[in-house]
Structure 1
Amino acid sequence: MKAENFKRFELKPFLIEALSGQGFTLPTDIQERLIPAIRNGRDVIGQSQTGTGKTLSFLLPILDRIDYTRHEVQAVITAPTRELAGQLFDELKKILEYCPENETIQAKLLVGGTDRTRAIGGLKNQPHIVVGTAGRIADLIDDQALQVYTASMLVVDEADQMLDMGFIDDVDKVASRMAEKLQMMVFSATIPEKLQPFLKKYMTDPRHVQVEPKHVTATKIEHRIIPLRHREKIKFVVDIAKSINPYLAIVFTNTKEQADEVANAMSEAGLNVERLHGGLQPRQRKQVMKLVKEVKVQYLVATDLAARGIDVKGVTHIINYGLPKDLDFYIHRVGRTARAGMDGLAFTIYEAHDQPAIEKLLKRGVKFTYYDFKQGEWVKLDRAPLGVPGKKKPAKTTDAKATTTKKPEEQKRTGGKAVAKARKVKPAYKKKARFKQAKEEQRQRRIKKKK
């Protein structure tokens, strides 16, 4: 397959060759709209969800503008997590494999959790491109090991997550030490109001491109919602996991404590499981990701730290132990599956307090199917479980008197409100009631007398 459609961007030949080699033929919407602007040196804001091709939309024009004859830092790419920085670096390396030997472009990955002394030693020769976490890059600048005053291109990837995790100040430090004429490229699923002061400080008339995916989630994902009811949640999620036999399943939890509890329970049940969350040491997280990529793990229990940071092939199932507070993360979670035209299955364990969140996801176009899991069997429900929004059958009732249909003229008299018909009272009802009461009082007196 040839990347003929990318040629109109007038990119360097090795970039077109790299695209062809990786099977890319058509630019995505965000690539179409941002590559020309970035090549022309303009500030840009790319607002898009996972799977829209944003990574190539900045890597291609940046590589096109690198001058390999200048042995100095020319571009800095920042990410909120080590995992995400590592994935960006991997994508960059795939393209650089096609770089001509006499036009070599050097790149370095700089992230926390690695040997700082070794990182400083590796910067004796300054790279053309730096990819990493903002904190580690800022530290190396303070150590005068990394010289970014020559760099005029800065990428802030997943800016909203960067803000949430408190790293935007580190990005600010890095940006302030870069070239005076700085081109900033910001990519984010959302642009929070709190991010605006930072954007205004560094950006001039940015080209803001917002790309909505054709479908909020991949069309080949089935979203199953399962009511918890009275069941013990950890045991229930283990039972669901045992029933699916996935190639690779990711179980998402909202906290690292939940992740540990679920992973421990799955391990005790004999499942091949690993965990990934912010409480692990960097070396442990790296080892887990290695096992996942080598397909030596069948189940991965992860927090939302990994929702945007995991990009591995072959995820067949997603299990949501609970719905995230930020519903954008639901989209990111399920976006790990059904890639490259494959099918995917996403399970969500539902509790009564989740009803507002489910309603919002329904309005955003997520189509749920309703199931229950009983005695090891999947049972499809013909309507939404109790309390879940959805198409439901009319409720049946045995109390005919409380569901009487009123005629139009009766509705006018009652203001349109449903009013139950008064029950008909049989003749001599009061007399019979008084007689029964007298008999009961007489019986009570006899009992008292016997005592």
Structure 2
Amino acid sequence: MNKNLFRQYALNDWMNDVIEELKFSKPTPIQTKVIPEVLKGKDIIGQSETGSGKTHAFLIPLLNQLDPEKSETQIVLTAPTRELAIQIYDEVKKIMQLSKNEDVWRAKLIIGGTDKKRMIEKMKEPPHIVVGTPGRILDLLQENVLNIYSARSFVMDETDLMLELGLIEDIDRILTNAESNIQVMVFSATIPEKLQPFLKKYLHSPVYIKLDDRLAPEKLEHRLVALKHREAADVIFDISKLIHPYLAIIFTNGKENANKLVEQLQTKGLNVGLIHGGLNQRERKRVLKEIQQLKYQYIVATDLAARGIDIKGVSHVINAQLPKEESFYIHRVGRTARAGMEGTAISLYNEDDIHLVQKLEKKGLTFTFYDVFKGEWREAKAWNVRQKRQKQEDDAESKAWQQVKKPKKVKPGYKKKMKFQQEKAKRKIQRNNYKK
């Protein structure tokens, strides 16, 4: 029988039993570093990729320290999207059920898109654990329905997405309702510079835990396909005949593009689902349930789904449009090649996207260039082949002139003679370049 390596943290017996029920035997790298620091009450900045086990890195030690005797809010867990908040809440509920504390602990999910009146009615007794999105938590604080002054721990998950969605101001206002010495934990795949003022304001001597500098999973292939004035839907349909995905997420920039692409792909006969922030809560729940039931082979999504939803079994990611930011690309392609599995990211691109490709290449990503021609993959020239060829020609031109001897005495036709010598030298240089 495998030894439970979580026992090194001297957790409560019931928590060790829960961990065994969850079939965890060895902490992930992020859990190894985070759990002991949380138990010490330290503020934490945790930087790790999606799928690294960070949710349980903070849930296990925080719930281990919960005191059900105190009828007050002790833990606040925040996430930028409803879906991510629901996922964290589901994990909290699972631990509660396995620990047999379901009737003793009170946990509340506080998100938009739900009946606010009913939520307020259920808040007559303060929840021990609050899980929610910043906007709705702030609402209940301002209406004096919720009090977090007693909370000892506050977690922000996917903090870089919170920053991008403009939710840091809400978090700022929430924390003014908490004790100044509250334990604050920030988890994020990237730590943008714009986040620094917030971190300095609320985190006291934080422990900085950075894990895995890899931009994307090692077993992930990055393919680029030039659009060449074609419709994205036509190219994706051609690609669909070649890849046979278990499940593919097709990313678009914005809801309007997503709606249009779904319509076009469905017209072509593809089995496509749709998920984006414009759907109401009931529609999103329905689609997520249908995704879990493997009703769709393709899902068209906006960037919200890159981090807000945990979709298992993604074999391919297709970028119908490349994003503008490197971090968005990383989060998108991070949906596949998880847990040591292989995956493929296929991105349609045009000239406007070359700057992003350059930046990603400088950071170490390797792209292969393909096109779909007559029902098969064909290797294509890289976006910068023409640039490289032009540079070689310019270099050859310059070096050739350096080899031309200028006559001491200028005679008629000397310019023509020099040009002839330069062309001859240039051809020799180009031949040598070609042989390399």
In which range does the TM-score fall when normalised by the shorter chain? 0.7 to 0.9
Report what 1:288 is aligned to: 287
Q: Following TM superposition, by how much is the alpha carbon of 1:101 offset from its aligned partner in structure 2, in angstroms? A: 4.6
How far apart in 2 are the matches of 1:409 and 1:159?
57
Matched position secondary structure for 2:307: coil
Report what 1:429 is aligned to: none
Would the alpha carbon gap of residues 103 and 42 (structure 1) be closer, same or farther in structure 2, given more than 3 Å must change? farther
Identity in percent? 46
Report what 1:297 is aligned to: 296
Q: Following TM superposition, by how much is the alpha carbon of 1:326 offset from its aligned partner in structure 2, in angstroms? A: 1.3
1:435-450 matched pairs, under 5 angstroms = none
What are the Cα deviations for residues 193-230 of structure 1, in whole angstroms up to 9, with x where unaligned?
A: 332232222221111222224x3222222221112224
Report what 2:426 is aligned to: none
Matched position secondary structure for 1:378: strand
Report what 1:64 is aligned to: 64
1:63-212 matched pairs, under 5 angstroms = 63-101=63-101, 104-212=104-212
Report what 1:217 is aligned to: 216
Q: Following TM superposition, by how much is the alpha carbon of 1:284 offset from its aligned partner in structure 2, in angstroms? A: 1.8
Would the alpha carbon gap of residues 422 and 85 (structure 1) be closer, same or farther in structure 2, given more than 3 Å must change? same
Report what 1:254 is aligned to: 253
Report what 1:55 is aligned to: 55
Matched position secondary structure for 1:338: coil
What are the Cα deviations for residues 10-68 of structure 1, in whole angstroms up to 9, with x where unaligned?
A: 12233333333333332233222221111111111112222332212211111111112
Gaps of 5+ in 2: 408-417, 424-436
What are the Cα deviations for residues 123-146 of structure 1, in whole angstroms up to 9, with x where unaligned?
A: 223221111101111111222222
Matched position secondary structure for 1:370: strand
Number of residues of Structure 1 aligned to a counterpart in Structure 2: 411
Matched position secondary structure for 1:348: strand
Report what 2:403 is aligned to: 410
Matched position secondary structure for 1:372: strand
Letter in 2 for 1:387: N
Q: Following TM superposition, by how much is the alpha carbon of 1:185 offset from its aligned partner in structure 2, in angstroms? A: 0.7
Letter in 2 for 1:147: N
How far apart in 2 are the matches of 1:47 and 1:411?
58
How far apart in 1 are the matches of 2:399 and 2:197?
61
Return the index of the structure with the highest Cα Rg. Answer: 1
Report what 1:427 is aligned to: none
Report what 2:413 is aligned to: none
Question: What TM-score comes out, normalization by structure 2 length?
Answer: 0.86
Report what 1:385 is aligned to: 382
Report if the CA contact (8 A) 2:5-2:26 is conserved. Answer: yes
Report what 1:14 is aligned to: 14
Would the alpha carbon gap of residues 3 and 88 (structure 1) be closer, same or farther in structure 2, given more than 3 Å must change? farther
Report what 1:328 is aligned to: 327
Would the alpha carbon gap of residues 134 and 422 (structure 1) be closer, same or farther in structure 2, given more than 3 Å must change? same
Would the alpha carbon gap of residues 19 and 369 (structure 1) be closer, same or farther in structure 2, given more than 3 Å must change? farther
Matched position secondary structure for 1:27: coil
Would the alpha carbon gap of residues 157 and 374 (structure 1) be closer, same or farther in structure 2, given more than 3 Å must change? same
Greater Cα shift, 226-235 or 148-157: 226-235
Report what 2:415 is aligned to: none
How far apart in 2 are the matches of 1:181 and 1:407?
71
Report what 1:31 is aligned to: 31
Gaps of 5+ in 1: 425-451
Considering only aligned residues, what root-mean-square deviation do their CA atoms show, in Å? Answer: 2.9
Report if the CA contact (8 A) 1:263-1:274 is conserved. Answer: yes
Report what 1:43 is aligned to: 43
Letter in 2 for 1:217: A
How far apart in 2 are the matches of 1:266 and 1:327?
27
Q: Following TM superposition, by how much is the alpha carbon of 1:407 offset from its aligned partner in structure 2, in angstroms? A: 7.8
Report if the CA contact (8 A) 1:310-1:336 is conserved. Answer: no
Report what 1:435 is aligned to: none
Letter in 1 for 2:56: L
Report if the CA contact (8 A) 1:222-1:345 is conserved. Answer: yes
Question: What TM-score comes out, normalization by structure 1 length?
Answer: 0.83
Report if the CA contact (8 A) 2:400-2:422 is conserved. Answer: no
Report if the CA contact (8 A) 2:246-2:315 is conserved. Answer: yes
Report if the CA contact (8 A) 1:355-1:388 is conserved. Answer: no
Q: Following TM superposition, by how much is the alpha carbon of 1:373 offset from its aligned partner in structure 2, in angstroms? A: 0.4
Matched position secondary structure for 2:308: coil
Report what 2:357 is aligned to: 358
How far apart in 2 are the matches of 1:32 and 1:13?
19
How far apart in 2 are the matches of 1:100 and 1:110?
23
Matched position secondary structure for 1:421: helix
Matched position secondary structure for 2:98: coil
Letter in 2 for 1:67: D
Q: Following TM superposition, by how much is the alpha carbon of 1:330 offset from its aligned partner in structure 2, in angstroms? A: 1.3
Report if the CA contact (8 A) 2:354-2:383 is conserved. Answer: no
Report if the CA contact (8 A) 1:320-1:348 is conserved. Answer: yes
